[in-house]
């Protein structure tokens, strides 16, 4: 199956850049989300985790 895909991709100029860009983009988004999750306040996490148990008034 790879030979069918490879044959089609050979006609695209600079096609080797796309896997590098997508890996870089994924890595940047992952790192940003990880930093955001680690710096999120513990009080806010506890407040959000208690929401299913609170009664609406």
The stretch 33-54 carries a mean pLDDT of 92
In a domain, 8, yes or no: no
pLDDT at 24: 98
The stretch 39-55 carries a mean pLDDT of 91
Q: Is the pLDDT of residue 5 over 80?
A: no
The domain of 40 spans 23-50
Cβ proximity of 15 and 9 under 8 Å = yes
1-6: long-range contacts, CB 8 A cutoff, minimum separation 24 = none
Where is pLDDT greater, at 3 or 28?
28
In a domain, 38, yes or no: yes
Give me the DSSP letters along 13-37. Answer: TTTTHHHHHHHHHHHHHHHHHHHHH
In a domain, 34, yes or no: yes
In degrees, to the nearest 5, what angle opens at C-alpha 40 toward C-alphas 39 and 44? 155
Q: Considering its fold, how many domains does the chain have in total?
A: 1
What percent of the chain lies above the pLDDT cut of 70? 93
In a domain, 9, yes or no: no
Evaluate if pTM is beyond 0.75.
no
In three-state secondary structure terms, 38 is helix
């Amino acid at each position: 199956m790879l030979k069918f895909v490879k044959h089609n991709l050979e006609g695209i100029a600079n096609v080797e850049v796309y896997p590098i860009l997508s890996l870089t983009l994924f890595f940047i988004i992952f790192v940003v989300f990880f930093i955001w999750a680690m710096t999120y306040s513990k009080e806010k996490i506890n407040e959000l985790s208690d929401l299913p148990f609170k009664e609406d008034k």
